[in-house]
Structure 1
């Protein structure tokens, strides 16, 4: 693999993850609006239904899940290709944990569609943990990018 390509591949994962963080925040916004649609007064619900927030949340959540899984695998692949090993540390372990949590949270969708309140609360709790870890990952990821950039 050409050296320039190998070096530039280091930045695909961070750029993708920053975009994913923004998409995750948007999915959170849509989820909040979907809850307001479900729990609001009849007048509020009538107005909010027009926004199709539940459908948009479901679509955005599916997109976030797919990109997170592919982005996690891609980040590990590029690290391995460029270094011949993975660096097992907090960034990798938190990223793997986030990927597992978001998959489990998404798997609760059928139960939530049946009105299961425990599944809904677990979904929200896991995704709040994912967002918290994601914010930390953003900071630790910038530190890793800075190391890559300065060790060029």
Structure 2
């Protein structure tokens, strides 16, 4: 024999489990006297609100519609019963302390942030050096052009033959700057500075967020203060400096000057973080254990 299951019967296991969960949760709540009771009235069937025809085909379709409506009502009640315990019982929600995160609360994970940020501080200085060398490649040509304007014409004989005279100080300076520029071009400082800035932006933002996340994992909260605010400022300055790159590539001197100013401020904020970061590192050693 083939048994046909109605849509409502498919939700029977969920109803039984949800009822048990709700009963267990509600049984722990304090009993308070109620001075009034609410009487629930069943909702009328959908077919009762419609002008149902006597046609058997139409009657059958409305019967199926009523069964589907009852199934949806049962499903909504079961979902409410399942979620109700989670809404009522919030006192045991785990915070980010007491070992719930295992090794992520240990000393090894806590040391990642200071080690990475100290490395990024040194890398920031290196990226600044590369940027300054690339700027030197561009500005040295301007110096050469200005010096060439000061070079006096070579004296010639009455016949028009140039006289052989030793080079002037200005000409020697031009030769020196020209050789220096050739060496700077060989260093590929433009590409190296761009790559260093990209690495600094990516790892810097990642570890800036990771440092706050690590603090929350170990303590369950963040600590607003100079270190946190300076770190947020550094992250913003990284983003602003990177946003100026398209204008710099189009030759905007204003964007280049602003880029240098923002990164100088970035280094100063980085330096201000070193003492507070060292204090936090000592606290991490005090309140964490290996691993």
Q: Sort the TM-score into its range (normalised by shorter chain).
A: over 0.9
**Structure 1 segments of 4+ aligned residues over 6 angstroms from their partners:** none
2:105 is aligned to 6
User: How much is the aligned-residue C-alpha RMSD, in angstroms?
Assistant: 1.2
Which structure is higher in helix share? 1
Q: What does residue range 105-120 of structure 1 map to in structure 2 within 5 Å?
A: 105-120=241-256
Larger Cα Rg: Structure 1 or Structure 2? 2
1:21 is aligned to 121
Greater CA deviation, 59-68 or 135-144? 135-144
Secondary structure of the 1:11 match is helix
Secondary structure of the 2:281 match is helix
What is the deviation of 1:67? 0.9
Greater CA deviation, 118-127 or 38-47? 38-47
Show CA shifts across 1:31-67 (max 9, x none). Answer: 1111111111433222210000011001001100111
Matched, 1:43 2:179: yes
Please say if residues 104 and 217 of structure 2, whose CA atoms lie closer than 8 Å, have aligned partners that are also in contact. Answer: no
Unaligned runs of 5+ in 1: none
Q: 1-side partners of 2:204 and 2:212: how far apart?
A: 12
Matched, 1:31 2:31: no
Greater CA deviation, 40-49 or 138-147? 40-49
Unaligned runs of 5+ in 2: 1-100, 141-176
2:207 is aligned to 71
Matched, 1:94 2:230: yes
2:283 is aligned to 147
Q: TM-score, normalised by structure 1?
A: 0.94
Aligned residues between the structures: 151
Q: 2-side partners of 1:65 and 1:137: how far apart?
A: 18
What is the deviation of 1:5? 4.3
Higher relative contact order (CA 8 A, sep 6+): 1
Greater CA deviation, 133-142 or 70-79? 133-142
Q: 2-side partners of 1:142 and 1:50: how far apart?
A: 40
1:131 is aligned to 267
